[in-house]
Structure 1
């Protein structure tokens, strides 16, 4: 009997004991800042001269660590190690594969505050955001282990007299996991363990801005008893190592989380048949979002304002689920806008090591430049109501920014900014609001704040997003509770943390025996 799943609780940092435990985690991480981390290929540690240097986005001079950089030659060695490991890992009992994940979850749970502190240093996450990221990583390990135990015997199909039929799920083969920096632990670990528990060896290429948390996760998986070659750690350049592995004849599937443009590039490259390749590569892609909160005229307006602010500016808006568009019915537009501006002006921005700061930095100089350029566009397209400034002298800090009176076709209402910027536009009525909400090439998350049941049902049918929330913000999906993934340019409609996610890493086989 598979135990019922309950998600990992978030830490209440108002409790002094928890606060001290987190500060201990920070001390632990500060004790190993600046270290070198090797590649892990077939269980062997491989160091290279060429390094990826990870720095703290709150304090550019602080080096979090240096990770050896893979090249094509080492990527090939890793691929062959994974191909070899597949021969035995695919035949390893699902119960054993699940146990590795349960053990890894237990190890991370014991080191929870250390991992969160590392996310604070490497990704610039405030305490609560870092804690939620670590909790989600634990959730993914526990949830996917349980899911594997549920599907290990396949699905019952009909048999006839003197005939026995079975429908089983078998692993696909070697997977390439390309993970993002914004959920540097949760998504990186989740996409990796989903592939592994399904019986597939993995080549993990983490984001170059956050490779240290990935290196630490690889150590955890080894400690949990994962056999050599099942998880190969190959950080490197996307143009060199990423392309090489996506194109490789032995790659069976690619699991990618990141931007729309990179996702499309991977999708296109994966579609090409390479010499010696005998399958169609499967692509699991979670790409981007341009997410809208709709506020009806019959709504709790304080809840609406709070939801917009937390969804737009949590982790500096660096979530594919972040609210970057607020569509407000004209009857209540000014009230909601003015309250959002008030709340936004109360937010504190600074080093997340200081628990009192609501917002930390954006991830790096490129992100800072891109967001600031969108703020300049916004000043031409709408009315700047709050924020609009940035300071990158020590870290990459941008003030939470609100633009009002935008046309729904404005660039900052259409293009993914991935920063602390939200745009407001008016809707004539509820139908018009849903029409504006759907007027984007993305379809990831959305929220509707309303007391009108009829409008709620209308949105349930017509608001075309993978994750739709009523009377709450549009960020913060919990594994197993709100399976996560979107439509259109937001990806391949996969639902991470959902009941059918593991099946994307497997294929069905029918066997029929006559008696």
Structure 2
């Protein structure tokens, strides 16, 4: 039987009766699960349920909301192994990558459980006697959440948890390619006692379900993570009727390797950021901008690192899993062809990997050298394990190249010069800046978001900034 959608506290079939199959990207003939395929009608029902529940949920005391989130974290913890395997089988990550992502979702619910108890306004000194002056933080109402397939439990968690913690009713559309772990979150919230209608989930296409979420009058806020092309459409649609909007989109993330860097350390940092999670991260390192004095040594090192990676099914102990789908694999292979046509040197990888025991969407990690900063492979998001290595003469040229793209999500530098590191923090155009670390990986209690074409530049996600996005402030003048 297919897994159903969750609307107004009930698991329900899709109105159309249609279903969709999710297959294992390592073994495409293996159907992992079948899900009800929601439509616009299902999305409307979910939004109406959320709207009806929003006032009561918003009036629920913060500690009571926090207790539900805390219990949800405990239930997720009990199911960690199961959810990790589901994530591997639906999305393709290795267990070493999927397990920490599930743990991150658990930690997020624990974190916002506490924040729900603490969240409130502030008291200020009034200018006159016999007066109180204070603020109240209140929920917006209904939050529509649209999440991607590449972090299919972490991103739903870091949207759902703060939205519920602050008293908003939620409608979430998880990605159809890997919805199983988002469904796990919903199951745990249901078991923890979330009131009917306060949380709703509809699995379906972006054009059907996502379109209703962004357009519906009853939705007060939309939080979207995905591609830049879709994100700009979501932004335009949501802001037409003045919804609060938050979009986090693509990246073309650089790591600068200084001539003061330990080259072996730099290779480890860049290889991990470029090839981890099969390069399918918006924060993945796609450009290594390397000073001339250490360029050749770095290229040799990162090529060796790429060639040491064993590609295959994650559950079978390989280092790097498949692309999530055939279309994602084809896109990566196309960019490898584009890079060679542009005149870059393909040092290694970029080939479809065929295994005797698995016919999945595998590709060997690719390293390009002799990359000009204006080439497409140095400008456009590839979303696969493809690294472009760019030679520069000095710091000034490195920063110019690093900033010379339309994106500004994450950036890092590997250097032993502390002054250079501090200059980089000031000069780089990115929402996340790391010193002697890979561009991937985030702490849950600090803001996350980008600049330029990577973000709507409205509100950040995670930490206290997420609470700000999902609330409005009311200022009270009390003359007693």
What range describes the TM-score normalised by the shorter chain of this pair?
over 0.9
How far 1:217 moved relative to its partner?
1.6
How far 1:296 moved relative to its partner?
0.4
How many angstroms apart in 2 are the aligned matches of 1:271 and 1:107? 37
Q: For residue 295 of structure 2, what is the aligned residue in structure 1?
A: 333
How far 1:76 moved relative to its partner?
1.6
How far 1:64 moved relative to its partner?
1.1
Q: Does 1:109 align with 2:77?
A: yes
1:89-488 equivalences under 5 Å are: 89-152=57-120, 154-159=121-126, 160-273=128-241, 280-355=242-317, 357-381=318-342, 382-391=344-353, 394-480=359-445, 482-488=446-452
Per-residue CA deviations over 1:140-198 (Å, capped at 9, x if unaligned) read: 1122222233322x122222311111101100011111011111001012211211111
1:253–1:283: 8 Å Cα contact kept in structure 2?
yes
How many angstroms apart in 2 are the aligned matches of 1:156 and 1:415? 48
Name the Cα RMSD after superposition: 1.3
Q: Of the candidates 451, 455, 462, which is equivalent to residue 491 of structure 1?
A: 455
Per-residue CA deviations over 1:378-430 (Å, capped at 9, x if unaligned) read: 11220000102014771100100000011101101110010010001111101
How many angstroms apart in 2 are the aligned matches of 1:44 and 1:345? 49
1:148–1:502: 8 Å Cα contact kept in structure 2?
no
How far 1:483 moved relative to its partner?
3.3
Per-residue CA deviations over 1:107-128 (Å, capped at 9, x if unaligned) read: 1112211111111111111011
How far 1:472 moved relative to its partner?
1.6
Q: Of the candidates 59, 62, 69, which is equivalent to residue 30 of structure 2?
A: 62
2:253–2:411: 8 Å Cα contact kept in structure 1?
yes
TM-score by length of 1: 0.90
Q: For residue 8 of structure 1, what is the aligned residue in structure 2?
A: none
How far 1:259 moved relative to its partner?
0.5
TM-score by length of 2: 0.96
Per-residue CA deviations over 1:484-505 (Å, capped at 9, x if unaligned) read: 2211111134433322221100
How many angstroms apart in 2 are the aligned matches of 1:78 and 1:396? 35
1:316–1:419: 8 Å Cα contact kept in structure 2?
yes
Per-residue CA deviations over 1:284-333 (Å, capped at 9, x if unaligned) read: 11111100000000111111001111100001000001000000001110
Structure 1 unaligned blocks of 5 or more: 1-34, 274-279
Q: For residue 9 of structure 2, what is the aligned residue in structure 1?
A: 43
How many angstroms apart in 2 are the aligned matches of 1:151 and 1:230? 19
How many angstroms apart in 2 are the aligned matches of 1:502 and 1:386? 45
Structure 2 unaligned blocks of 5 or more: none
Q: For residue 14 of structure 1, what is the aligned residue in structure 2?
A: none
How many angstroms apart in 1 are the aligned matches of 2:114 and 2:454? 27
Deviates more, 1:310-319 or 1:75-84: 75-84
Work out the number of aligned pairs and report it.
472
1:64–1:212: 8 Å Cα contact kept in structure 2?
no
